Amino acid sequence: MQIHVVKSKIHRVKVTGADLNYIGSITIDEALMEASNIYEGEKVSIVNLNNGERLETYAITGPRNSGEITLNGPAARKVHKGDIIIIIAYGILTCEEAKNFKPALVFPNEHDNSLK
């Protein structure tokens, strides 16, 4: 049997922009993507702590150390600049693999999205 497990999480990061006219996705600071082991094009879940919205999209790389977290396309309707979100990516593992797996968890500074 295989199960879905949390592979990566960026916990409590501030939305810096929402661009309705972009094709789609979430733009994430490259340093945050690297630290959390999230890859460009990878499917991610977004949980908005301000309004309870949950959505799925894919990650694209933003400028390194910019603090950028921008929801693009239709997802821009689910957030506002300044909202606090959690970004989660999942992996599929066997039950045996999951017993010893350790996810990449990142807790950035909520004020500027920098790594602590």
Task: Examine the pLDDT at 47 and tell me if it is beyond 90.
Answer: yes
Annotated binding site for substrate: 57, 73-75
Active site residue 25: yes
Task: Examine the pLDDT at 27 and tell me if it is beyond 80.
Answer: yes
For 22, 39, 74, 99, 104, the CA distances from 57, given in Å and listed in that order, are 13, 13, 10, 28, 19
Q: Radius of gyration over alpha carbons of the chain, in Å?
A: 14
Please name the residues in contact with 100: beta carbons below 8 A apart, sequence gap of 6 or more: none
Work out the mean pLDDT of the chain and round it to a whole number: 96
The answer to whether 60 and 25 have CB atoms below 8 angstroms apart is yes
Active site residue 58: yes
pLDDT of residue 106: 98
Topology (CATH level 3) of domain 2-106: Barwin-like endoglucanases (2.40.40)
Annotated binding site: 57, 73-75
pLDDT of residue 1: 95
Rounded to an integer, the average pLDDT of 36-41 is 98
E strand or H helix that includes residue 95: helix 95-100
Q: Specify the pTM.
A: 0.96
Rounded to an integer, the average pLDDT of 73-78 is 94
From the list 8, 25, 36, 66, the catalytic residue is: 25
From the list 22, 39, 58, 90, the catalytic residue is: 58
Q: Is 35 helix (H, G, I), strand (E, B) or coil?
A: helix
pLDDT of residue 116: 77
Q: Confidence class of residue 23 from pLDDT cuts 50, 70 and 90?
A: confident
Q: Which of 22-26, 36-40, 68-72, 111-115 has the lowest mean pLDDT?
A: 22-26
